[in-house]
């Protein structure tokens, strides 16, 4: 796709972050790839969302109110 169109389809056009290929669906054959079913590892989207929320919460800096 990059050679043909000069664009990487797995890069988000808005934020430029790399995306996951989650599912491929074909009109005649139906679902032919599902990351949670066919991927090399067990992947749970809810776990990923929870991890992202935890990562955002962990980016805070805690300042000491009293001298240490």
pLDDT digits (tens, 9 = 90+) for 35-47: 777 776 655 555 5
pLDDT tens digits for 5-26?
Answer: 888 888 888 998 988 888 888 8
The residue length of the chain stands at: 68
pLDDT at 60: 57
In angstroms, what CA-CA distances link 39 with 22, 35, 44, 62? Answer: 9, 4, 11, 39
Spell out the domain ranges in the chain. Answer: 2-57
Could you tell me which residue, 31 or 46, shows the higher pLDDT? 31
Q: What is the pTM of this model?
A: 0.40
């Amino acid at each position: 796709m990059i050679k043909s169109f000069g664009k990487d389809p797995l890069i988000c056009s808005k934020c430029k972050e790399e995306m996951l290929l989650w599912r491929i669906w074909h009109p005649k054959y139906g679902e032919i790839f599902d990351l949670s079913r066919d991927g090399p590892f067990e992947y749970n989207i809810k776990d990923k969302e929870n991890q992202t929320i935890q990562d955002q919460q962990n980016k805070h800096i805690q300042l000491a109110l009293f001298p240490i």
